[in-house]
Amino acid sequence: MKKLLTMKELWAVIGLGLILLFNLIFSPSFFKIAITDGHLYGSMIDVLNRGASLVIVSLGMTLVIATRGIDISVGSVSALGAMTAVYLLGVSGAAVPVAILAGLLAGMLCGIWNGLLVARLNIQPMIATLILMTVGRGLAQIISNGEILTITSPAYSFLGRGYVFGIPFATILMVAVTLLIYFVTRKTSLGLGIEAVGINEESARYSGIDTQKILWFCYIVCGMLAALSGMMESANVSSADGNNNGLNLELDAILAVVLGGTSMDGGKFHLGGTVVGALFIQTLTTTIFTFGVPAETIMVVKAIVVIFVVLLSSERTKEWTQHLPFKKAGVSIEE
């Protein structure tokens, strides 16, 4: 019990559990899973399928926030990566692997740019990524001449709505990326380096850590995962829209990270919590649509969640928890 309450992921787990309980009571069909043409279908499957792209970009955001940074350009990078791939497929007639690699390359270049501004030029992350947030979506519009590009490529569409043994490929890709990030950051010293930079960059540098390389790595990974997320979304609808692809994605990604227990002050990060936080957001979105609530309401609900998270992380709330019964018994919910 004590270990459970000391998990930073606690609030995201509780939130996800409450939404699932709400659906269990008021919409039991939410948990119904059917097999049609050998594929799994249902609201729960839709949460995993649609939430996969959010999980992926949120993992990249987790690394950036762990360094005490932020990347508000992920929505624009997502649109740029998707537009690059779709343009090469639909206009240039490139092969699907080439188009996907080009989309990832676009995301990597965006990450390099952000890394240059933050790591080398010491520009504040919010300002540095704000530049690309504006320019990136403009570049996507230039590539498409302001139009929505559509494609008819079953191989590319597989990225967003394909199935492997009845399981959505997007879900499999989400698991693969999560495991890759986990092993890279938790089975090597890289994760400790990232946390050290977030706790105190100057001290980390004096201790021999190449802080610039750490920052470059985090922003490059974030850019590539944002581009991959955008390609998954565009593959799901067989089109790319430079104006709307990845719209407000940065809000969802940051919210998923913070809900998952990673502090905006940097330092220790929680990949598992980020996954739960992203699935919480997608479950919330799917639930709202299930009950026929207008789409505009989603932003209001998310704003309420943000306020709730901010209140939970405030110093006043932390002081208040010191007087709770389980706190007096020696159980902590902070760390």
Is-above-0.75 flag for pTM?
A: yes
CB atoms within 10 A of CB 10: 16
Specify if 18 maps to a domain: yes
319 within domain boundaries: no
* pLDDT value, residue 323: 63
Contacts of 44 (CB under 8 A, 6+ apart): 30, 31, 33
pLDDT of residue 321: 60
20-48 per-position pLDDT tens digit: 999 999 999 999 999 888 889 899 999 99
Predicted pLDDT at 1: 39
- Specify if 254 maps to a domain: yes
Q: Is residue 325 in some structural domain? A: no
Residue 195: inside a domain? yes
Specify if 320 maps to a domain. Answer: no
Q: Do you know the residue count of the chain?
A: 335
| Low-confidence residues of the chain: pLDDT under 70 | 1-9, 310, 312-319, 321-335
Residue type, 260: G
Residue 96 lies in a domain: yes
pLDDT, the chain, mean: 90
The fraction of the chain above a pLDDT of 70, given in percent, is 90
Q: Which pLDDT belongs to residue 331?
A: 46
Q: CATH number for the domain including 201?
A: 1.10.3470
Alpha carbon separation from 142 to 83, 109, 267 (Å, rounded): 10, 17, 38
- Please count the structural domains in the chain: 1
Q: Which of 252, 235, 279, 289 is nearest to 61 (CA)?
A: 252
What long-range pairs does 179-187 form, CB within 8 A, spacing at least 24?
Answer: 181/59, 181/63, 181/221, 181/271, 182/271, 185/63, 185/269, 185/271, 186/271
Phi, psi of 164 (to 5 degrees): -125, 115
For the CA atoms of 85, 91, 95, 96, what is the dihedral angle to 10 degrees? Answer: 30
Residue 299, in any domain of the structure: yes
Where in the sequence is the domain holding 126, given as residue range(s)? 8-314
